[in-house]
Each structure stands twice: as structure tokens, then as C-alpha cells.
Structure 1
Amino acid sequence: MNYLMRIGFIAITMLLYMTRNAFSENLIKKTIKLPSAKAFKPFNLLFIADIHRRNIKADLINFPVDIIVIGGDLVEKGVPLERVAENIENLRSHAPVYFVWGNNDREVNEDALRKIFNQYGVIVLDDKSVSLFGNPQLKLVGIDHFAYKPDGLKNAFSEVNEQDTVVFVTHTPFDFWKIKGPYAADLLLAGHTHGGQIRFGPFGMFKKGSIKYKNGRVELITNGFGTTTLHLRLGAPAEYHLLTIVPETEIGE
């Protein structure tokens, strides 16, 4: 009996620990230097993905931020639109918000989501680029991966020039291999994998989230902020990122 009680205690403790990890708020801060043909003013980019069912508290952001990028799966089936609107309002109160579609977002009414986006001025990057801070050589590019459009990537980069400094965002990191040649980018952002969500040491369904420097560019895959199906995490805690983007060429040089 004592043995079974110990096993039960350990199981309950583990579940509580995994639940706490799932609803934690781990902010990862990183300064990233990007190549620039024309220097730009350093800026803070908040990247958050895979929110799913979570509430974004009004005080989640208590630091300066210049732009916010949502990397997909803002919502999923069963989440009230009122919660989505509140999450967007809390983000938008701090900075302009940009969004790419994830695989779960269209489980709710797309027109209703777009109405919320329009209400709060969220810019949807469905296969297009935008210039940041009025600088035509500093671009944010996003694709709608799960629309499966044959010309999606081509359209997204149609107004991007070779000398531009490019931040590329997609919901899934499985798009990263496509970013080469005429579709080059300096910083790549994605979520989707949840870092495996439940890991046992080095083992998980997907690799743990990371920031890596590969082939002269920076690739960020986040563990994500929320969970789906099982609201538990082990070895891949919930996270969001504050990236301070700095040009290699300083203004005035």
C-alpha cells in the first residue's frame, strides 16, 4: 500500500509540475545583429506563437517593444472569440501587431478573426512583405503556409530586393529550407512544433525550441506559448521571445 501511495504521489507531483510548465511565462531575451546595406535604428521585436487556448495577461509585456509578431495558432476550435479579441487588445496596446496563419487558426470562423484583426489594426502577412519603420530596405515577410498556394513564397518575396534586411516569419519551421536563392532572409521565425511539448531528456516528437546561427542567418524555433490536446509540458516549457534587432552597420558609419 505504501508503495502504491508513493507512486500516486509522484504521479500527482509530476502532473502538477507539467501543468505549471504549460502555463508558465518564460521570456527569452536575445540581441541579434543582422546584416544591413543601409543601417537602421535598433528595435525590439516580440515574437509569440502557438497561443491556442491561453489568455495573454495585460501585464505580460512590461518592457519596451516596437513590433509584435504572432507566429500562428493564435486560436483553435472551441476558443471564444471574446478571448481572442482580448488577447489581441492586450498585445496591440503595446505595439503594432503582425500575424501569420497557423494550421489551427482556421478552425474558427476566418471572417470573424479578420474582423478582430481589422478592429485592432493587426496586419496579416498572408504571402506578402511590409517595410518596417518607413525603411524600404528593412522588410518583414510572412507566408500563409497552410493555404498551400503554389505561388505563396513568390508573392511573399515579390517586393523584396537583394540588399534588403529581411525578417521572415512562418508558422512551421519546415518552410526554412525553402528560404534560399531569390528568397533569402536574415532572421527566420517559426513555431508549430511546441518543442515536442513533452520530452524525456533529449527525446521528443520534435526538437526543442532554439535559436541557431546557420549559413550566415539566424533561425528561431520557439517552444510556443500555449499547448493543444494535452495542456501539459515537460522539458519544453512555454516561452515567448524579445529580440533586440541591431544592424551590423551602425547609423552614422
Structure 2
Amino acid sequence: MKYVIGVGIASAATLLFSMVKNADDIKEKRHIINLKTNKNFRPFRLVFIADIHRKKLPEEFLGSSADAIIIGGDLTERGVPLHRTADNLRILTRFSPVYFVWGNHDHNVGERKLRKLLEHYKVKVLENESVELFGQPNLKLVGIDYFGERESKLEKAFADVRKEDTVLFAAHTPAIFKFLPATGNPQLRMAGHLHGGQIRLGKIGFYKKGSLKKRGSGYELVTNGYGTSTLPMRLGAEPQYHVLDIFPEKI
């Protein structure tokens, strides 16, 4: 019996060690995407990263250039030192212009301080609005604060989007995706929040694993996220961020 208990304890310790190690084994996922469009746009490279939480980005975070970086919410969380968040923003903004949408944890850290930090690093906060990308009027990025207390978010966010525009959409949670067709039809939708379930037993998890999927004429990207929430552990849902090379495909 002692032997069995000892083996069980050793196995549990090995599993816990592996889960902690897995949380630090962050993968760069590369994708090539062709977006159908009525009007051509210049190809570009986009980085999407979400759910950084308590993680510290390495100085050499990106090994290549990017045209834009989107932070898909939960840049930080309660208890994270402000200087760590500042360091992460310094690293990200060194590579390209950065856009940010709010996550649920971001609202809990002292919103005024975080806004000042984002402003200091010239990060564009997207709060239920759209922006032109790279000086191309027909290429739009729409961002929404899903967890804010404002009404008519989608109507406001898509107010300046035209039918002929090529549209990218970013929110913290993919729960908003099902409401988009009535307001607009982004060719690329991006979100995080779910961490891919974070700890999975094979195919079993609290949430589906993150993935890039073709949806009709467009794509949906739901990331497993970069960091962790509650427990600094992962199993079966690797931490990740995404580098997307995006090209126009003429309709």
C-alpha cells in the first residue's frame, strides 16, 4: 500500500511539474490568410496576442517585423505590478503600432492607471469603434469592449463601416461573434478569453481549444492565450500567440 501511495504521489508531482512547465512553453503560431475583397489592399502582417495576465514578455518577443499588433484583452490582472505591464507594452510597441481591446481583468486593475499607461506608449484603445489600417480607407479594424457597460456597442462600433470594406474584428471573448451578422460581417474575427480550457484531459475541457477556422467567406481565430488565469498551469492547451500574413483575394 505504501508503495502504491508513493507511486501516486510521485506521479501527481510529475504531472504538476509538467503542467507548470507547459504554461511556459509558449508557441508562435503562423497563419497565411486570404481575405475576399471587392477592393484590393496591400498585404500586411498582423500579430494577435491575448490573455497575457501575469506573464512577462521576453525582450526578443518577435523574431520578425509586423505591421500591427492587436492585444485581445486581459493584458494584465489584479495584483500584477504596473511596471511589468509597462515593460510588456514597451516591448510590444517597439515592433509596430499596437491596438488594444479591453478584457474583463483589465477593468479590475485601476482603469485610470492603465489608461495612462496605454496613452504613454501610444497604444490605440478600441472602444466600440473602427479605425482605418495603414492609410487604406477600405481596410478597417473594429474593436469592442464586450465587458463595458455601454449600450448599442455593435451599432456604434460598425457605424463607419461600409459594405465594400474589408473588415477585421477584435474582441476579448468569442461570445460576441454570434451577434455580428446582423451588424456587419467581418472577414476575420479574433478573440481569446477562454484559454482553450487551460487544463484539459484529452478532448475534455471547460472550453474548446483555440483554433483558426474557416467560417463561410471569412475566418475565426480564437486563441488559447499567452498567459494563465488562477493557476499557473496548462495541460492540453498550449499557450500561444499568432502571426498572420494577410493577403487580398479579389472577388
Distance 2:177 2:125 in 1: 20
By how many angstroms is 1:130 displaced? 0.5
Q: Which amino acid aligns with 1:140?
A: L
By how many angstroms is 1:136 displaced? 0.5
* Match of residue 160 from structure 2: 159
Structure 2 unaligned residues grouped into runs of 5+: none
Distance 2:203 2:26 in 1: 22
By how many angstroms is 1:5 displaced? 2.2
1:224 equivalenced with 2:225 (yes/no): yes
Matches within 5 A, 1:77-226: 77-226=78-227
Q: Which amino acid aligns with 1:137?
A: N
Structure 1 segments (4+ residues) deviating >2 Å = 1-5
Distance 2:5 2:110 in 1: 47
Distance 2:144 2:78 in 1: 22
* Match of residue 235 from structure 1: 236
Matches within 5 A, 1:35-46: 35-46=36-47
By how many angstroms is 1:215 displaced? 2.0
Contact 2:72 2:103 in 1 (8 A): yes
RMSD: 1.1
Distance 2:199 2:179 in 1: 28
Residue deviations 1:120-145, cap 9 Å, x none?
11000000000000000000000000
Residue deviations 1:39-86, cap 9 Å, x none?
111111000000000001111111121100000000110001111100
* Match of residue 64 from structure 2: 63
By how many angstroms is 1:4 displaced? 2.2
Distance 2:132 2:156 in 1: 15
* Match of residue 15 from structure 1: 16
Distance 2:16 2:23 in 1: 10
SS of 2:78's partner is coil
Residue deviations 1:196-232, cap 9 Å, x none?
0111111100001011111221001000000111111
SS of 2:116's partner is helix
Distance 2:215 2:62 in 1: 30
By how many angstroms is 1:150 displaced? 1.6
Distance 2:127 2:24 in 1: 29
Report the more deviating stretch, 173-182 or 195-204. Answer: 173-182
Contact 2:155 2:183 in 1 (8 A): no
- Superposition TM-score, scaled by structure 1 size: 0.96
By how many angstroms is 1:182 displaced? 3.4
SS of 1:5's partner is helix
- Superposition TM-score, scaled by structure 2 size: 0.97
Distance 1:193 1:221 in 2: 8
1:76 equivalenced with 2:39 (yes/no): no
Residue deviations 1:17-38, cap 9 Å, x none?
1111112220110001101222
Distance 1:246 1:148 in 2: 36
Distance 1:83 1:139 in 2: 31
Contact 2:118 2:124 in 1 (8 A): yes
Distance 1:142 1:67 in 2: 14
Distance 1:24 1:95 in 2: 24
1:52 equivalenced with 2:17 (yes/no): no
Distance 1:112 1:178 in 2: 32
SS of 1:147's partner is coil
Distance 2:10 2:103 in 1: 38
Distance 1:98 1:20 in 2: 30
By how many angstroms is 1:11 displaced? 1.1
